[in-house]
Structure 1
């Protein structure tokens, strides 16, 4: 006679089968999570290829000098922007917003550098504005910075009256040194010589580490080499400026360089201060649980992870976290970030500013997106840098004649 369960099945057997099913599901989910973490890890450190044309062109009127684009978060921003079109075969410079509807935005065309804009169907906006020092109308020199992986190209724009003050400009992830040209005029007006550098795996400088980014953990060596280059050319005081991942790179340089006594200040535009925060943010945009982002950093932080990511060395994310390491910073910092960044969340910048108000001058933006602060508010951005440079001027230096001398700290 069967037991009273009526099904003829032994309850222990049901529990066992159920347990196996649950365990199997957990294993499957774990494997899926591990695969996603590995894919994300590889994506984080792999230099990007051709960028996507993500804005549709609705119309071009070359006689009136206007272009109409579909509305996106970037296309509706006020200010001046680069516009790459036809899969990077053309480039134009777009200006103010003239008309805006819920679906379309019409902007002024300031110039077309190359390509046939009238035939463009899609494009993308960027913050470059200048394609090279020649667009600034300033004298410059093409130079090569010797690094441990080879010669890295750079642009040297001398001050009108060189006096030993230099600024080293460091671009962000997935772009090149053209990004930093926007800062050259304001620093030159303040008397600085500018060195606009490249670094390993950015598409201009030599490759290393399997051709993968180290997110600042190795690229700082190339900026350190640029400091040595600058010192050999007469630099006595150096400001480091970095955009996005370039911010992570200059912070590593400022704290690890043997020549850090030459560094007098740091300027950060939309910087990465904590990669865990950035990975979590991007995972959220993709609808992934936070554990995937944590897993991606775990893969990148382990030597065995190189099997999957192509990196030859693990990345020390603790050393890259300058929210946690805020107390270790000693130099004055000008920090600028927009709350609507969309790529690197401003939470890290706000946290650093809150922890170190003694050395950090924080300029928050509400509407400017990622590394487009200058484009959105050129006057405010330039003035912030000018005022900050006056404040860190060593005792005895005469500041700009139209601005008061900054009060000395107690």
Structure 2
């Protein structure tokens, strides 16, 4: 009986081995397929990080009342914000200025129109809510000129708003997926303080020159174009420079301050909703869009590695360590004012808080809430203006004789 049982086991053993091999082979193939999918998704995520963003619809027009001059939008965390904003549209109008919220419910928000629209206005349903408000330098009713700033890649168009005696200049740097128009909101603040404003463009922003790949370096290369703008200001008589960066422009401003050959001219830095450490931002965005952390990690590896440039389309690996200003806080030597909303929704304020802790001798943080990303001026213009004006006066960086507050 035992011998027959052993014989049965011996006869079954080959089949068991074959079964195990098939199972292992199947699991290996499944694992390889999963990893391949993860890799493809990670490369797609990485490409999106460095590819200049196109404006995307983030709300829908539900109703346009040309008689009452109101517009009703689908409700989002942005469209419900109090204050003045802009709306990118398509149809017979491409941009509208929006005023206060008139009514709201769980699904929609009705706002006052500050751009007059006629009865024959026809708009497509998709729209993009914006903090720009001003969409042309002419709307500021201030003297300005269009300039070309020479950089290593080619001319970078800029707007120059002269003010005061020309001693102090504010060089403003816009964020990712936008252009210099984003910065127009701050020009009247600087003008009232007697500070000349230079609103710059930089490589691959759609206005400045294009690099070989046409991709962002997240501040690691763009700062060179801002450095060229500082050289331009110096040749025009500037003796002190205030760098102001919005969102990714904040990362560019910080890299300029850390690397510029004109560092002696930089007197202060103002940052609005800034990127201080890209890894914090990218991990936050991964969580927000429900991208698994292993995929986010693969995307970061592709972005920072030489092997990844061929897959992401970037000109060079992204030096995340060099872009981490918390880790490099000991190298900072200019006073910094940060304005950041704790419910930013795109660039978390954690790194801004960390920078204050790391350099309390240099960094002042004005914390907002509810204001969302780069919409602090729109949400509370009076506080935003006062914060910048008072801080610049404290740094001795104004040439206004009256000492009054900027309007």
TM over 0.5: yes
Match of 1:148 among 125, 146, 152: 152
Q: After the TM superposition, which residues 270-285 of structure 1 pair with which residues of structure 2 at under 5 Å, given as runs?
A: 270-285=273-288
Please provide the CA RMSD for this pair. Answer: 2.4
Specify whether residues 5 and 111 from structure 1 end up closer, same or farther in structure 2 by C-alpha distance, changes over 3 A only.
farther
Q: Give the Cα separation in 2 of the matches to 1:163 and 1:312.
A: 37
Match of 1:264 among 261, 264, 267: 267
User: Are 1:34 and 2:8 counterparts?
Assistant: no
Aligned to 1:44: 49
SS of match in other structure, 1:92: strand
Aligned to 1:223: 226
Specify whether residues 36 and 78 from structure 1 end up closer, same or farther in structure 2 by C-alpha distance, changes over 3 A only.
same
SS of match in other structure, 1:297: helix
Aligned to 2:258: 255
Which segment is superposed worse, 104-113 or 146-155? 104-113
SS of match in other structure, 2:353: helix
Specify whether residues 22 and 251 from structure 1 end up closer, same or farther in structure 2 by C-alpha distance, changes over 3 A only.
same
- What's the offset of the Cα at 1:16? 4.7
CA contact (8 A) 2:193 2:400 kept: no
Match of 1:82 among 86, 104, 107: 86
Gaps in structure 1 of 5+ consecutive residues: 404-410
Q: Give the Cα separation in 1 of the matches to 2:93 and 2:404.
A: 44
Aligned to 1:96: 100
Q: Give the Cα separation in 1 of the matches to 2:203 and 2:274.
A: 19
Which segment is superposed worse, 18-27 or 384-393? 18-27
Q: After the TM superposition, which residues 150-169 of structure 1 pair with which residues of structure 2 at under 5 Å, given as runs?
A: 150-159=154-163, 161-169=164-172
Which segment is superposed worse, 192-201 or 120-129? 120-129
Q: Give the Cα separation in 1 of the matches to 2:262 and 2:110.
A: 49
SS of match in other structure, 1:367: coil
Q: Give the Cα separation in 2 of the matches to 1:117 and 1:80.
A: 21
Q: Give the Cα separation in 1 of the matches to 2:10 and 2:390.
A: 84
CA contact (8 A) 1:90 1:115 kept: no
CA contact (8 A) 2:220 2:255 kept: yes
Aligned to 2:77: 73
SS of match in other structure, 1:210: coil
Specify whether residues 231 and 15 from structure 1 end up closer, same or farther in structure 2 by C-alpha distance, changes over 3 A only.
same
CA contact (8 A) 1:82 1:125 kept: yes
Match of 2:364 among 357, 361, 364: 361
Which segment is superposed worse, 1-10 or 26-35? 1-10
For each residue in 1:248-290, what CA deviation from the matched residue of structure 2 results, as whole angstroms up to 9, or x when unmatched? 1011100001101100111111111111111112222232222
- What's the offset of the Cα at 1:99? 1.0
Q: Give the Cα separation in 2 of the matches to 1:118 and 1:88.
A: 6
Specify whether residues 114 and 212 from structure 1 end up closer, same or farther in structure 2 by C-alpha distance, changes over 3 A only.
farther
CA contact (8 A) 2:93 2:121 kept: no
- What's the offset of the Cα at 1:183? 0.6
Match of 2:246 among 220, 243, 263: 243
Which segment is superposed worse, 1-10 or 245-254? 1-10
- What's the offset of the Cα at 1:139? 0.3
Which segment is superposed worse, 340-349 or 218-227? 340-349
- What's the offset of the Cα at 1:129? 0.9
Q: Give the Cα separation in 2 of the matches to 1:32 and 1:25.
A: 11
Q: After the TM superposition, which residues 7-18 of structure 1 pair with which residues of structure 2 at under 5 Å, given as runs?
A: 8-9=12-13, 16-18=21-23
CA contact (8 A) 2:70 2:113 kept: yes
CA contact (8 A) 1:158 1:194 kept: yes
Q: Give the Cα separation in 2 of the matches to 1:189 and 1:223.
A: 24
Q: TM-score under structure 1 normalisation?
A: 0.91
- What's the offset of the Cα at 1:115? 11
User: Are 1:373 and 2:376 counterparts?
Assistant: yes
Q: Give the Cα separation in 2 of the matches to 1:48 and 1:127.
A: 16
Match of 1:331 among 331, 334, 337: 334
User: Are 1:129 and 2:117 counterparts?
Assistant: no
Gaps in structure 2 of 5+ consecutive residues: none
CA contact (8 A) 2:58 2:127 kept: yes
Aligned to 1:388: 391
- What's the offset of the Cα at 1:19? 4.1
- What's the offset of the Cα at 1:135? 0.5
Number of residue pairs matched by the alignment: 400
User: Are 1:60 and 2:71 counterparts?
Assistant: no
- What's the offset of the Cα at 1:7? 10
Specify whether residues 129 and 235 from structure 1 end up closer, same or farther in structure 2 by C-alpha distance, changes over 3 A only.
same
